[in-house]
Amino acid sequence: MELLRFATAGSVDDGKSTLIGRLLYDSKSIFEDQLEAVERSSVQRGEEQTNLALLTDGLRAEREQGITIDVAYRYFATPVRKFIIADTPGHLQYTRNMVTGASTADLALVLVDARNGVVEQSRRHAFLAVLLGIPHIVLCVNKMDLVDWDQQVFDDIVEEFQLFVTGLGVPDVTAVPLSALNGDNVVDRSEHSPWYTGPVLLEYLEGVEVDPVHASTGARFPVQYVLRPRSDEWHDFRGYAGTVAGGVLHPGDDVVVLPSGLRTTVASIDTADGPLEAAAGRAVAVRLHDDIDVSRGDMIAAAADAPGASREIEATICWFSERSTLTPRSKYLVKHTTRTVKGLVDAIEYRLDVNTLEVDNEADSLGLNEIGRVRLRTSQPIFVDPYSSNRATGSFVLIDEATNDTVAAGLVLDPAVAGPPFASAPPPVDRTR
């Protein structure tokens, strides 16, 4: 079955964890012991009904505060499709966790509390979803039962959200009115919203088309490990293990090994299921026809469509560190696919306000959860594609050598694009009454 990865997004208390719990419960994807444990916890907390949010909020601090802090991954399947869910936190403080959880998603569920409408964190997470290249966004207008299923409230929220994302170039936005607590329009259609004729949430998730992963680039295979079995049976075996990061590899393909630039052909592709071709996302071992010096950090790529080898990179950076800020002339390790090199921040070109989409061209630093465009120089070339073409070879992380902390995530930009590809956002709607 086809796999769909999706992430939740939105502000604190908009019901992200409850929605995921409801999806799991109503789709019969919870084991009896899991449900019994959640029911016991709900009783101990003095709650009148089972708190399905506890299925994803597993940390003690999360349960005590009633918030999501870390990213929780859950898996379930229907007869139509398999799913991997990333339940991400809504707090501004944990924006970096949201970026991490959404970085591999094909779809984002942006939740909005019907009583509060589109708030700053709703806009921030919608922007981050677009920045991360997520092609599908579902606007889940939650807690509709608390506004008496008023269609006008729903329509106003959808209009405001659509106005915000218009300048972001979002290809697909679908809006669903629902109540995660009661299960309305999550798996089963609600009798409380006869005016809504669109799909319920699970129906949409089962039917949405998932684009082929990294289809816009040729084959990309970062080498993770060299396989040389120490046995008489396999004494001639030399394979290169890793995960295909773009395109499709076939036996007989003409490939180039980077950084050496030497060309050869693929002799075979070995997996646990035997020899076969390998699409993006598949972990395999590749054997080559020629004896070439290949090691961890090298990349095997389609000879006719190889990535660029660059020591100067334009990138969008999301800063993660609480203990430091990013400033020009700072030095970090740049980890890109399986290759790690030393890097220097050449310049900060601008800082971006993710609420208004306005840029500050005078910015000289990036702090916790701030986003900006940065120019980097690396000590050795890395083999990159623009993030818009390939999310695996177009992304990297920065590591502080002194602490070994991952301090930032970066998305490689097309250097021909000088400014942010977004129009200014409209001002938030004044909802005071």
Chain segment 312-370, per-residue pLDDT in tens: 999 999 898 888 999 999 999 999 999 999 999 999 999 988 777 788 999 999 998 88
Chain segment 150-201, per-residue pLDDT in tens: 999 999 999 999 888 877 777 678 999 999 888 899 999 999 999 999 999 9
pLDDT of residue 100: 78
Give exposure, 195-231, as e/b (b: 16+ Cβ within 10 Å): ebeebbbbbbbeebeeeebbeebbbbbbbeeeeeeee
pLDDT of residue 93: 61
CA distances from 161 to 108, 138, 275, 426 (A): 14, 11, 48, 10
% pLDDT > 70, the chain: 81
* R_g over Cα of the chain: 23
ω into 222 cis (within 30 of 0): no
Shared domain for 386 and 339, answered yes or no, is yes
What residues make up the domain containing 277?
A: 220-302
What's the chain's average pLDDT?
A: 83
% pLDDT > 90, the chain: 47
Boundary (domain end) residue, out of 302, 336, 361: 302
230: pLDDT strictly greater than 80? no
Q: Which of 39-43, 258-262, 404-408 has the lowest mean pLDDT?
A: 39-43
More confident residue, 51 or 132: 132
> Please, which pLDDT band fits residue 62 given cuts at 50, 70 and 90?
very low
Chain center to CA of 225: 25
Does residue 134 fall inside a structural domain?
yes
Does residue 426 fall inside a structural domain?
no
> Please, which pLDDT band fits residue 419 given cuts at 50, 70 and 90?
low
pTM summary value: 0.81
CATH code (residue 262): 2.40.30.10
pLDDT of residue 433: 41
272: pLDDT strictly greater than 50? yes
Does residue 335 fall inside a structural domain?
yes
Does residue 433 fall inside a structural domain?
no
Shared domain for 176 and 275, answered yes or no, is no
pLDDT of residue 59: 37
126: pLDDT strictly greater than 70? yes
Does residue 279 fall inside a structural domain?
yes
What are 175's strand-pairing partners? 139
Shared domain for 133 and 224, answered yes or no, is no
425: pLDDT strictly greater than 60? no
Number of structural domains found in the chain: 3
Shared domain for 108 and 186, answered yes or no, is yes
pLDDT of residue 299: 95
Under 8 Å between Cβ of 380 and 311: yes
pLDDT of residue 333: 97
Shared domain for 234 and 335, answered yes or no, is no
Shared domain for 54 and 184, answered yes or no, is yes
Chain segment 23-43, per-residue pLDDT in tens: 887 777 676 666 666 667 656
291: pLDDT strictly greater than 60? yes
90: pLDDT strictly greater than 60? no
Shared domain for 234 and 378, answered yes or no, is no
64: pLDDT strictly greater than 50? no
Does residue 283 fall inside a structural domain?
yes
Boundary (domain end) residue, out of 302, 335, 361: 302
> Please, which pLDDT band fits residue 431 given cuts at 50, 70 and 90?
low
Does residue 429 fall inside a structural domain?
no
More confident residue, 61 or 426: 426
400: pLDDT strictly greater than 60? yes
Shared domain for 338 and 280, answered yes or no, is no
The mean pLDDT of 374-386, rounded to a whole number, is 94
